[in-house]
Amino acid sequence: MLRTALFCFTCHATSLVAEGFVDRFTRLDPTRWHAAEYDFGHARFDTDWRRENINLSQGLELNLEPHIGGINGFVSGSIRTHSPLHYGYYETRLQAAKGDGLVTGFFTYTGPYYGTRHDEIDIEILGRDTAKLHLAWFVDGKLYEQDIPLNFDAASCLHSYGFLWMPNRIEWYVNGARVFVARAEDSPLPQIPGRLYANLWAADKSIAEWAGRTDADTQASARFRSISFRPLATSDGS
């Protein structure tokens, strides 16, 4: 369980510090979150971003719909933290979107736009199969990934998903139970602090083999009831 994992880690190297946040989205805190408002020219995405596709009724709701006149076929909502975050436990309680070609994402990211290499840690639920969790991490742009079967439909109701990022491993959790561990002795791990993102997007046809193809008239929503971050501090105080 997560509590045991945190305790074991702090015994050896770190301690929890009294920082971080829990956000239940009664409003979108402008000191913490940036809401995306731009056309997105990324090769994997068929989605532009607009603030008007973010709703704050019963948490954070991201709404995807066809985009007439945009550079992409769809428009949706995306938020990210203003500040980069590092080692600690990241969690969201969410209900994913269902539909071929859709991806509900909760992840940390940094890359050339921020003046760094590309490091990333992902929790993604593909709308084509919402009984499966897609976990991924990037180290200097190289992708590592794993699919995890769920014993429920992630689009039917709210469930908790999280990851514990530490210098020597990353642990992913579903409803408080650990489902996968990536260890430094087995593969490289992200090291660079990244912004925390939540979004819903339609995949470009170039990755249809992975995500599926989104029907042109698709409308969908992903709901994030809460997002939290609990940082870890190393024993030397850094």
Point out the residues that are catalytic. Answer: 120, 124
Structure token pair of residue 77 = 């909502």
Q: How buried is residue 84: exposed, middle or buried, by Cβ count under 10 Å (0-12/13-18/19+)?
A: middle
Q: What pairing do the DSSP bridges indicate for beta strands 159-165 and 88-95?
A: antiparallel
Strand ranges across the sheet with 195-202:
33-35, 78-81, 195-202, 102-110, 119-126, 132-139, 142-149
- State which amino acid sits at residue 143: L
Q: How buried is residue 186: exposed, middle or buried, by Cβ count under 10 Å (0-12/13-18/19+)?
A: exposed
What span, in angstroms and rounded, lies between the C-alpha atoms of 6 and 3? 5
